[in-house]
């Protein structure tokens, strides 16, 4: 009964995220078209450049959805883990895309400070208002699952960052309409860029660590060893390796020294149950006895 409940919950989450990606992509494609046409109509380079930036977000959402789909692919004899690791690589690529977008925002802001140009505040304001709604709603679609998967977190950060950019553009557009101070636009852009870098840094750091098979965030190897030794029948644990198979699944290998080899049948299920609670769904345990010699070569 429990197994059916978990399977049903997992299937519901997969369907929910599929729907979130499809809705988010459709909304953002529509917004890119509207913003591009508005840019042509008003002759606004800022709207046209922002349309290009939002098109890169559509690409980012497509990549995140691809990673989500690849994680569901069954293992083969050539790829015994399936394509789960691709989710980590796509997460890293998406975080780098965000940083590139920040670089573009900073470059454009500096350029506008050095070479001020007339800006149609009204056109920018109403277009940015639509952007706040579209990007804010898309970010909300991923808010619930952002802590479970780095790719979902990346999609959430992309959309939240764009919503923040749109808020800044909306405010600057209204200020320009009332005061004519065009310098407000690049200043707001620089402030937003700093905020985005601060929020994206953790995604980039975690993605890079996982791509190098580092220990996933939230897992303390020393604490795992302590809890494993606390299991009855376990004398010691060594050669522990923990890494991420994907952005949602972690694996572990370890050598377990038993006080009595006859207890292996009881000890292994207890250890795996404890590790599962700690967020490690794939554990490979090599049981040893005191008389055995483990050289640890190639560890």
Q: What pLDDT sits at residue 69?
A: 82
37-52 CB burial, b ≥16 within 10 A, e <16:
ebbeebebebbbebbe
Q: At residue 12, does pLDDT exceed 60?
A: no
139 vs 146 pLDDT, higher one: 139
Q: At residue 243, does pLDDT exceed 60?
A: yes
Burial of 173 (0-12, 13-18, 19+ CB in 10 A): buried
CB atoms within 10 A of CB 14: 14
259-282 CB burial, b ≥16 within 10 A, e <16:
eeeebeeebbeebbebbeebebee
Q: What pLDDT sits at residue 124?
A: 73
Question: Average per-residue pLDDT in the chain?
Answer: 80
Q: What pLDDT sits at residue 41?
A: 77
The secondary element (H helix, E strand) that includes residue 33 is helix 2-42
| Helix pair angle (45-70, 2-42), 10° resolution | 160
The tens digit of pLDDT for each residue in 24-44 reads 889 888 988 887 887 677 655
Q: What pLDDT sits at residue 295?
A: 56
């Amino acid at each position: 009964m429990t197994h059916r409940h978990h399977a049903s919950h997992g299937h519901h989450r997969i369907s929910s995220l599929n729907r979130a990606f499809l809705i988010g992509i459709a909304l953002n494609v529509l917004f890119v078209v509207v913003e591009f046409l508005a840019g042509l109509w008003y002759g606004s380079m800022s709207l046209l450049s922002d349309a290009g930036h939002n098109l890169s977000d559509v690409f980012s959402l497509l990549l995140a959805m691809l990673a989500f789909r690849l994680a569901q692919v069954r293992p083969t004899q050539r790829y015994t883990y399936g394509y789960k690791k691709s989710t980590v690589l796509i997460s890293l690529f998406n975080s780098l895309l965000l940083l590139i977008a920040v670089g573009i925002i900073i470059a454009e802001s500096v350029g506008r400070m050095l070479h001020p140009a007339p800006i149609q505040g009204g056109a920018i304001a109403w277009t940015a208002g639509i952007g706040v709604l579209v990007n804010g709603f898309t970010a909300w679609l991923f808010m619930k699952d952002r802590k479970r998967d780095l790719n979902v977190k990346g999609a959430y950060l992309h959309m939240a960052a764009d919503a923040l950019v749109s808020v800044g553009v909306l405010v600057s557009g209204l200020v320009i309409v009332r005061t004519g101070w065009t310098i407000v636009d690049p200043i707001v852009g620089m402030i937003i860029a700093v905020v985005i870098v601060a929020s994206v840094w953790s995604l980039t750091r975690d993605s890079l660590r996982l791509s190098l098979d580092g220990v996933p965030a939230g897992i303390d190897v020393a604490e795992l060893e302590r809890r494993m030794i606390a299991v009855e029948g376990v004398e010691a644990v060594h050669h522990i390796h923990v890494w991420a198979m994907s952005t949602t699944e972690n694996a572990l290998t370890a050598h377990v020294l038993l006080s009595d080899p006859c207890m292996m049948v009881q000890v292994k299920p207890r250890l795996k149950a404890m590790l599962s609670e700690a967020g490690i769904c794939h554990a490979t345990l090599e049981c040893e006895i005191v008389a055995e010699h483990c050289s640890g070569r190639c560890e």
